[in-house]
Amino acid sequence: MRGGGFKIGRVFGIPIFLHASWFFIFLLITYSMATEFSSVNPNWTDGQRWGLGLVTSLLFFGSVLFHELSHSVVALRYRIPVKSITLFIFGGVASIGRDPERPGQEFLIAAAGPASSYVLAAVFWLLTIASPTASMVNALGDSLWKINFGLATFNLVPGFPLDGGRLLRSIVWGITKDYGRATRFAARSGQAVAYGMIALGLWFAVRAYTAGGDVLGGLWLAFIGWFLLSAARASYAQINAQGVLEGLRAADLMTAEMSTIGRDMSLEEYAQEVARTGRRAHLVVTDAKLVGLMTLEALQSVPREEWGMTSVQAVMLPRDRLQWAAPDEPAMDLLERMRRAQVNQMAVITDGNVVGMVTRDSVQRALETRSDLARVTGR
C-alpha cells in the first residue's frame, strides 16, 4: 500500500497515515476487547470495560506502529528512504523507497519488526505479573503481551510479503546470489501459506457454523489469507516483469506515435479526442513547440460539468514540470522513477525534442512481446 488516508503526524521524519479501513478495525477491536473484559470480569462497570477496551485498542495500534518504525529505523540506517507508514485494516505497512542492496541488509530490516514486537510482549508480560490479579492494569498487560507475541510470531511465518517471507528471501538471496530467484521462491512460499490460511479459515468457519458458534474468526483468517495471496502474486509478477525487461532501455519501450493537441482545446473536446484515439496522454503544442502534457488523469481531476468551460492549458502538466527520460536510460530505472512519481507516462527527449513516449500501454506491449518470445524460444 502507498501512503494515503489521514495524516496524523511524523516520526523520525516519516509521515504516518491512517487508512480509511483503520477506523473499522479499530472499532471492531475495541468492541471485541470490551466484550472479552466483560465476560472475564462481570463485576466491572460499562465505563471500565469500554474504557479499557478503547485503551487496549489504541495501544495495540501503537504496538503495530512501533513494529513498523523498527523496520524503518533499520532501513534508514542503510540510507534506504522510507516514504510513509500506513495503519490499515490488517495492521500496518512501511513504504520503503527501494529494495536493500545486500541480503544482510534485508535480513536485519525484516527481523527488526518481530524483534521489537517480542520486546513489547516481554514488557507487557512483566507489567502483568507485577500488577494485582483481576485489576485493570493486569487485564491490559495480559491482553497486550499476548497480542504482541502473536503479532511477532505470525509475521515470522515464511511467506512473502510477511517478515518471515522477507527473511526467507534474504537467506535464499545470500545462498544463490540471485535476487530474482530468491524473490520468486519467497513469493511461491507466500502463496502456499496464503492458500493454507484460506483453507484453514474456511474450515474453522464451517465448523463453527455447524456447531452454532461464531464464524467471524475463521472468515477473518481466510480474509487475511486472501490479502497475502494477492500480495504474493503481485510480487511474483513484478519480479517476472523485471526479468523480462532486463537489458531494455527507454527507446525500446517508447512509442514514436505521439498524438498532439492544442492548448486552447476544451476539456470536453479533449474527452472526445481520448475516446477517438484511445490514448491516455497527449503532447500539447503551440506553433510546433512543446508546451505541456495532457493526460486522462488530469481530465478526471476536473468536475464533469466544468469540461466545456475549461481549457487544456488550465490543467495540463507544463513543460518545465514534465518528467522525461533519455533514450538510453535503462528500462527498470525508468519504471522505478515512474513508480516513485506516480505517473503512467513519461516523455523521451533527446536534443530538446520529444522523440517518443513511454506509457503503461507501451510497457505492457513490450512485456507481452518478450514473454511470448521467451515461450517460443524456451528462454
When pLDDT is averaged across residues 230-255 and rounded to a whole number, the result is 77
Q: Give me the mean pLDDT over the 214-219 stretch.
A: 79
Question: Which of 41-50, 225-234, 361-370 has the highest mean predicted lDDT (pLDDT)?
Answer: 41-50
State residue 57's pLDDT score.
93
Q: Check residues 80 and 217 and name the one with the higher pLDDT.
A: 80
Band of pLDDT at residue 3, cut at 50, 70 and 90: very low
Name the CA radius of gyration of the chain, rounded: 26
Reported as a single tens digit per residue, the pLDDT across 140-176 is 999 999 999 999 998 998 888 889 999 999 999 999 9
Q: Average of pLDDT values for 1-10? A: 69
Question: What are 325's strand-pairing partners?
Answer: 348
Q: What residue ranges of the chain are covered by domains with CATH 3.10.580.10?
A: 250-377
69 has a pLDDT exceeding 70? yes
Q: What is the pLDDT of residue 314?
A: 93
Residue with cell 534485508: 106
- Dihedral sign, Cα of residue 75, residue 77, residue 78, residue 82: positive
State the distance between the two ends of the chain, measured CA to CA, in whole angstroms: 33
> Alpha helix locations (H) across the chain?
20-40, 46-77, 103-130, 136-155, 163-176, 179-210, 216-245, 250-253, 267-277, 296-300, 312-315, 331-341, 360-377
Looking at residue 296, its amino acid is: L
The three grid cell numbers given for residue 210, joined into one nine-digit string: 455447524
The CATH number given to 250-377 is: 3.10.580.10
| CA separation, residue 214 to residues 195, 204, 224 (Å) | 22, 10, 17
**Cα(100)–Cα(106) distance, integer angstroms:** 6
For residue 36, give the C-alpha cell.
472479552
**Of the candidates 246, 100, 244, 93, the residue with the CA atom closest to the CA atom of residue 173:** 100
Mean pLDDT of 52-71: 94
In the numeric block, the cell 487508512 is attached to 19
- pTM of the shown model: 0.70
Among the listed residues 36, 68, 273, 305, the single catalytic one is 68
Residue with the larger pLDDT of the pair 365 and 284:
284
The pLDDT, as a whole number, for residue 54 is: 95
Q: Rounded to whole angstroms, how far apart are CA atoms 363 and 338?
A: 12
Separation CA 65–CA 204 (nearest Å): 30
pLDDT the model gives residue 1: 46
pLDDT of residue 371: 66
Beta carbons within 10 angstroms of residue 39's beta carbon: 8
Confirm whether 101 is a catalytic residue: no
**pLDDT of 117-146, one tens digit each?**
999 999 999 999 999 988 899 999 999 999
Q: What is the mean pLDDT of the chain?
A: 86
What is the pLDDT, as a whole number, of residue 208? 86
Instruction: For residue 248, report the phi and psi dihedrals to the nearest 5 degrees.
Output: -85, 155
To the nearest 10 degrees (0 to 180), the angle between helices 103-130 and 136-155 is 160
> For the segment 280-308, what is each residue's pLDDT rounded down to a tens digit?
888 898 877 788 889 888 899 999 999 99
Query: Of 290, 265, 289, nearest to 276 (Cα)?
Result: 265
Q: How confident is the model at residue 367 (pLDDT cuts 50, 70, 90)?
A: confident
User: Could you tell me if 263 and 286 are in contact, meaning their C-beta atoms sit under 8 angstroms apart?
Assistant: yes
**Per-residue pLDDT at 355:** 81
CA distances from 35 to 42, 48, 50 (A): 10, 11, 8
Tell me the C-alpha distance between 133 and 348, whole Å.
69
Question: What proportion of the chain, given as a percentage, has pLDDT over 90?
Answer: 35
Give the H or E element holding residue 295. Answer: strand 289-295
Categorize the per-residue pLDDT at 2 as very low, low, confident or very high, splitting at 50, 70 and 90.
very low
pLDDT greater than 60 at residue 379? no
Window from 64-68, 170-174, 325-329 with minimum mean pLDDT:
325-329
- CA-to-CA distance for 218 and 369, rounded, in angstroms? 43
